[in-house]
Amino acid sequence: MTVETSVGKAVMTTGENAVETVQSVWDAESVGTELLACEDEVRDRTPFSDEWPELATDTALAYAIQDQNLARRLARGETLIGIKLGVTSRAKQAMVGIDSPGVAWLTDAMVLPAGDPIPQDKLIHPRVEPEIVFVMKDRLEGPGVTAAQAMAAVGSVLGGVEIIDSRYRDFRFRIGDVIADNNSSGRFTTGPVSVPPDRINLAAEAVLVEVNGEIVDSATGAAIQDHPGEALALAVNVLAERGLALEPGWIVLTGGITTAWFAPPGTSVGVHFTTLGSIYAYSD
């Protein structure tokens, strides 16, 4: 038997009867430190929830770790420029037991300028996914925001490619682990076409994903919570629970439209949208 505390405990079983309760070495502070260290040193690790089961499903705890690491990023000179959404397909949400997208922070250190190679030496095991990207025109604060209201606060819509990376070996993690890890943030780049939100049917907007010249995937914007505006509204309402809002000028990555495709060194990826143009990502 074990009692869960804020620092976490794990039950170790050795043999038939011997049950030993050990204090987890992890707490919010040390998990945050270790995650940033993994990122800076380009190394992966096992998920913390293996040793600290409480983190597996405690999303409030996980977001506290994420927020604490945002503060550390800002303290070391990075600028907060927006948010990224994750787990935006209803099927995936049902699988991990949540009913709205995951949210994580974007800083200027995560921007990959158009035409620059994927910085393989700074990433552990990058994967790429196509995204629909919003640039906010107005402040947007929940709760109670609807998709229509959320879209009215969007200034422009672009195509994008997110290069996700995970500090967890083989991308194996539970929901709390991945939220703490800023939802596998890596780099992102935006496309050449920018349109006002009332000039595009985002549910019908299609994307083709081409890896090393082969078309490997395709989808439409409807794969994002039936409409990316729906995902934005849900995310803003979730942020409001922590007293947070979206600011004018912020970028919102609305989540992978297809599955994420591995992009090891030497991979070239082309992402082609119906109206939002083509974006290429590559590395030698």
List residues near other proteins by CB under 8 A.
Answer: 90, 201, 203-208, 214-223, 226, 257, 272-274
Kindly tell me which of 177 and 205 has the beta carbon lying closer to other proteins: 205
Q: How far is CA 88 from the centre of its chain?
A: 10
- Provide, rounded to whole angstroms, the least separation between the CB of residue 207 and other proteins: 7
**Alpha-carbon distances of 187 from 17, 105, 198, 264, rounded to whole Å:** 49, 12, 28, 14
- Provide, rounded to whole angstroms, the least separation between the CB of residue 224 and other proteins: 10
- Provide, rounded to whole angstroms, the least separation between the CB of residue 203 and other proteins: 7
Q: How many residues does the chain have?
A: 284
- Provide, rounded to whole angstroms, the least separation between the CB of residue 150 and other proteins: 19
Kindly tell me which of 153 and 257 has the beta carbon lying closer to other proteins: 257
Kindly tell me which of 57 and 274 has the beta carbon lying closer to other proteins: 274
- Provide, rounded to whole angstroms, the least separation between the CB of residue 35 and other proteins: 33
Contact between 132 and 159 under an 8 Å Cβ cutoff? The reply is yes
Distance, in Å, from the CA atom of 160 to the CA atom of 278, rounded to the nearest integer, reads: 9
Distance, in Å, from the CA atom of 63 to the CA atom of 172, rounded to the nearest integer, reads: 19
Pairing of strands 278-282, 261-262: unpaired
Q: How deeply is 118 buried, as exposed, middle or buried, from its count of CB atoms within 10 A (0-12, 13-18, 19+)?
A: buried
Kindly tell me which of 182 and 258 has the beta carbon lying closer to other proteins: 258
Kindly tell me which of 10 and 161 has the beta carbon lying closer to other proteins: 161
